[in-house]
Structure 1
Amino acid sequence: MDISKHWTLADAFDPSIIPPKLVPKAVVLFALSSIVYGIGLGIYRLYLSPIAKFPGPKLAALTQWYEVYFDMVKKGGGQFPFEIKRMHDVYGPVVRINPWELHIDDPDYYEVVYATNKQYEKMTHFQYRFNVPLALFSTSDSNEHRVRRAAVNPFFSKSRVRGRDDQIQSLADRISHRLSTEYAGTNKILHIGNMWGAYTADVIMDIVFARPKHFTQYPDFAAPFTVAINQMAVWAHVTLHFGWILSIMNCIPDAVVKVLFPPFRPIIEFRAEMKREIKEMLAGRNQEAKNTDRPTVFHDILSSDVPQRELEPERLNHEAIGLVGAGIETTAWSMTIGTFHILDNPAVLKKLKEELTKAMPDPNESLSWAELEQLPYLTAVIKETLRIAMGGVERLPRINRNGTWTYEKYVIPAGTPVGMDQYHMHFNEHIFPEPSVFKPERWLGNPRGPDGVKPLTTYLTVFGKGPRSCVGLNLAWAEIYIGFSTFFRRHEFEFFETTRRDVEFFAENLKASPWPGSKGVRVLVKK
Structure 2
Amino acid sequence: MALYTWASDFPRGVLVCLLVGLLAGYLGGLVAYRIWWHPLAKFPGPKLAAASKLYETYYDLFDGPGGQFPAKVRALHQQYGPIVRITPEELAVDDVDFHIKLYAPQPAVRDKWAPITQILGTTEGTFSTVEHHLHRKRRVAASSFFSLANIAAAEPVLHKHIERCCALLWSQKDKPVELRVPFAALMFDSMYDMAFNDQLNSLTDLDIANQWDLTTDAISTFAPWLKSFPWSIKPFLLLPMNMVKKLSHKVARILQVSHRIRARTLRYLDETEKSEYKGSIRPAIVGRPETLFEVLQRRKLHDTEDELERLTQEGTELFAAAATPVRVLTAVMFYLLDRPETLAKLREELDAAYPDRMTIPTLKSMESLPYLINVVKEALRVAFPVGGRLPLLCREPMTFGNWIIPPGTPLSVNHRNLMLDPAVFPEPTLFKPERWFDNDLLAIEDRHYIPWGRGGRSCLGKDYAQGQMQMVLATLCRRYEFELVDTTYERDVKISREPFLAHASLDSRGVKIRITGLRG
Q: TM-score range by the shorter chain?
A: over 0.9
Residue in structure 2 matching 1:473, options 462, 473, 476: 462
Residue in structure 2 matching 1:420, options 405, 413, 422: 413
1:303 pairs with 2:298: yes
Query: C-alpha displacement at 1:422, in angstroms?
Result: 2.2
Cα deviation 1:254-278 (Å, max 9, x = unaligned): 3332233333222222222111111
Q: Secondary structure at the match of 1:470?
A: coil
Partner of 2:278: none
Asked if 1 retains the 8 angstrom alpha-carbon contact of 2:284 and 2:291, the reply is no
| Separation of aligned partners in 2, 1:321 and 1:130 | 8
Query: C-alpha displacement at 1:86, in angstroms?
Result: 0.8
Partner of 1:400: 394
Residue in structure 2 matching 1:102, options 91, 107, 116: 91
Partner of 1:502: 492
Given the superposition, is the C-alpha separation of residues 460 and 408 from structure 1 closer, same or farther in structure 2, using an over 3 Å criterion?
same
Asked if 2 retains the 8 angstrom alpha-carbon contact of 1:93 and 1:106, the reply is yes
Asked if 2 retains the 8 angstrom alpha-carbon contact of 1:391 and 1:512, the reply is yes
Query: C-alpha displacement at 1:305, in angstroms?
Result: 4.2
Residue in structure 2 matching 1:337, options 316, 331, 337: 331
Residue in structure 2 matching 1:375, options 369, 380, 383: 369
Q: Secondary structure at the match of 1:492?
A: strand
Asked if 2 retains the 8 angstrom alpha-carbon contact of 1:289 and 1:296, the reply is no
Opposite residue 324 of structure 1, the aligned amino acid is F
Deviates more, 1:226-235 or 1:289-298: 289-298
Deviates more, 1:253-262 or 1:368-377: 253-262
| Separation of aligned partners in 2, 1:30 and 1:196 | 55
Cα deviation 1:93-116 (Å, max 9, x = unaligned): 110101010001112321111015
Deviates more, 1:377-386 or 1:217-226: 217-226
Query: C-alpha displacement at 1:29, in angstroms?
Result: 2.5
Matched pairs, number: 507
Partner of 2:314: 319
1:85 pairs with 2:80: no
| Separation of aligned partners in 1, 2:317 and 2:496 | 25
Query: C-alpha displacement at 1:44, in angstroms?
Result: 1.4
| Separation of aligned partners in 2, 1:134 and 1:405 | 29
CA-based RMSD of the aligned residues comes to 2.3
Partner of 2:169: 179
Cα deviation 1:124-157 (Å, max 9, x = unaligned): 1122232112121111111221121111111112
Opposite residue 177 of structure 2, the aligned amino acid is L
Aligned-pair identity (%):
30
| Separation of aligned partners in 2, 1:191 and 1:310 | 43
Partner of 2:110: 120
| Separation of aligned partners in 2, 1:133 and 1:106 | 30
1:62-81 equivalences in 2 (<5 Å)? 62-81=51-70
Deviates more, 1:357-366 or 1:219-228: 219-228
| Separation of aligned partners in 2, 1:18 and 1:62 | 33
Query: C-alpha displacement at 1:221, in angstroms?
Result: 6.4
**TM-score calculated relative to the size of structure 1:** 0.91
Opposite residue 354 of structure 2, the aligned amino acid is M
Given the superposition, is the C-alpha separation of residues 505 and 226 from structure 1 closer, same or farther in structure 2, using an over 3 Å criterion?
closer
* Runs of 5+ unmatched residues, structure 1: none
Partner of 1:439: 432
Partner of 1:463: 452
**TM-score calculated relative to the size of structure 2:** 0.92
Query: C-alpha displacement at 1:381, in angstroms?
Result: 0.4
Q: Secondary structure at the match of 1:83?
A: helix
Q: Secondary structure at the match of 1:95?
A: strand
* Runs of 5+ unmatched residues, structure 2: 276-281
Opposite residue 514 of structure 1, the aligned amino acid is A
Opposite residue 390 of structure 1, the aligned amino acid is F
1:364 pairs with 2:358: yes
